[in-house]
Amino acid sequence: MSGPNILLTRIDNRLIHGQVGVTWVNHLGANLVVVANDKVSKDVVQQNLMDMVLPDVIQARYFSLEKTIDVIHKASPRQKIFLVVKDVHDALALKEGGVPIDHLNIGNMHYEEGKKQVSSTVSVDDKDIEAFKRLDELGVNLDLRKVPNEKGQNILDLF
């Protein structure tokens, strides 16, 4: 049996919002958005708010990291999955847990104290950089871009 039909995995600390829910979903032709994040998997209010952004024909699932690892391989081939995570550490946990992430889009990692800005939408600290390097070692293509029609850049080139 082949693996799950993951079209793209994206890091976006906002998770599902207009850019993800409309621009990326349409570009990819996804019919399912899976948000993998422990906190959001338990926050029904935030889930309902994110559901409102998605077109009616797009389904969303909100799983903990462990549940994502446990169920992603049971996905139907008809499910065209857009996997969204909050940060690089969630992406690394999924990859190390056996989720077949080959291509990682880095879209949004907000600036906060202790982080350095490496692009207009991405800020990182030393732990983030180490996680990106580990993903690279695991063979993941690291593609920094906000929107699909923007030229991508390997995030490692910015460190």
Q: Could you list the active site residues?
A: 17
Q: What is the distance between the alpha carbons of residues 22 and 30, in angstroms, rounded to a whole number?
A: 10
Q: What is the distance between the alpha carbons of residues 84 and 88, in angstroms, rounded to a whole number?
A: 11
Task: Classify each residue of 40-49 as buried b or exposed e, where b means 16 or more C-beta atoms within 10 Å of its C-beta.
Answer: bbeeeebbee
Q: What is the distance between the alpha carbons of residues 37 and 63, in angstroms, rounded to a whole number?
A: 6
8-state DSSP, 73: G
DSSP 5-63: -EEEEEEETT-SSHIIIIIIHHHHT-SEEEEE-TTGGG-HHHHHHHHHHS-TT-EEEEE
